A and B are shown apart, each in its own frame.
Chain A
Amino acid sequence: GQNIDQPTEMTATEGAIVQINCTYQTSGFNGLFWYQQHAGEAPTFLSYNVLDGLEEKGRFSSFLSRSKGYSYLLLKELQMKDSASYLCAVLDSNYQLIWGAGTKLIIKP
């Protein structure tokens, strides 16, 4: 079967750094997405990785290791507005997005 695991909830302090991990087992792999979703809103695109390594985009970075079936999203200089759910999604061999359950990130002052 296809499976994507990420922690249910994480807490971090404003100004700090947090890493959200995602492990996956899917039938084929055509890339991994990270989305941010605020409560009551639709997801918004953060990053896309298809090759191994780190992609940096401002305060957010995303890492992928295809051999380990592992990715992480790194958020630096945390702000209160970063409080949201972060969704990991893998594009499988049929180009269907397989979604993780999401990680709720709580930022404390």
Chain B
Amino acid sequence: GAVVSQHPSWVICKSGTSVKIECRSLDFQATTMFWYRQFPKQSLMLMATSNEGSKATYEQGVEKDKFLINHASLTLSTLTVTSAHPEDSSFYICSARGEPGRTEPYEQYFGPGTRLTVT
């Protein structure tokens, strides 16, 4: 149980276009989801925390108008990279907080990640 899927697994887009990444919890309800970015040989960097039905909370330095997050249901959160540029090329990973009673407290289940390349 506690599976998180992410789509697409990789995407190549041209500079100036927008890309949408989907994150789904397949067998549990996730009131809280997280979006991370990871550059090569670096650790995870939290971009934003997404709560179902409310606005996402962005970390300092992350442009909320560039990285649009929508968490409209208990099983789906989306990240849209708007007007992408080559420096946005990275590995984007989502995670969902587990359900109380089913998992370790506040454990996060990770999606497989999306590799974005902007040309």
Contact = CB atoms under 8 A, between A and B. Distances in A.
Query: Does B associate with A?
Result: yes
Interface of A: 30-31, 33, 40-45, 48, 50, 87, 91, 95-97, 99-102
Interface residues of B, number: 20
> Which of B46, B107, B109 counts the most chain A CB atoms within 10 A?
B107
Interface in B89-119: 91, 93, 95, 104-113, 115
Given A44-B110, A100-B43, 17 more contacts: A33-B104, A40-B91, A40-B113, A41-B112, A41-B113, A42-B95, A42-B112, A43-B44, A45-B109, A48-B105, A48-B107, A50-B105, A87-B44, A95-B106, A96-B49, A97-B108, A99-B43
Contacts of B60: none
Contacts of A44: 110
B95 to A, nearest CB: 8
21 contacts: A30-B105, A31-B105, A31-B106, A33-B104, A33-B107, A40-B91, A41-B112, A43-B44, A43-B110, A44-B110, A45-B104, A45-B107, A48-B105, A50-B105, A87-B44, A91-B105, A97-B46, A97-B106, A99-B46, A101-B42, A102-B43
Contacts of A87: 43-44
Contact of B111 (A42, A48, A99, A101): A42
Nearest to B115: A40
A99 B47 CA distance: 13
Given A30-B105, A33-B107, A101 B112 contact: no
Interface in B21-43: 34, 42-43
Contacts of A33: 104, 107
Nearest to A42: B110
Given A41-B112, A42-B93, A42-B113, A91 B43 contact: no
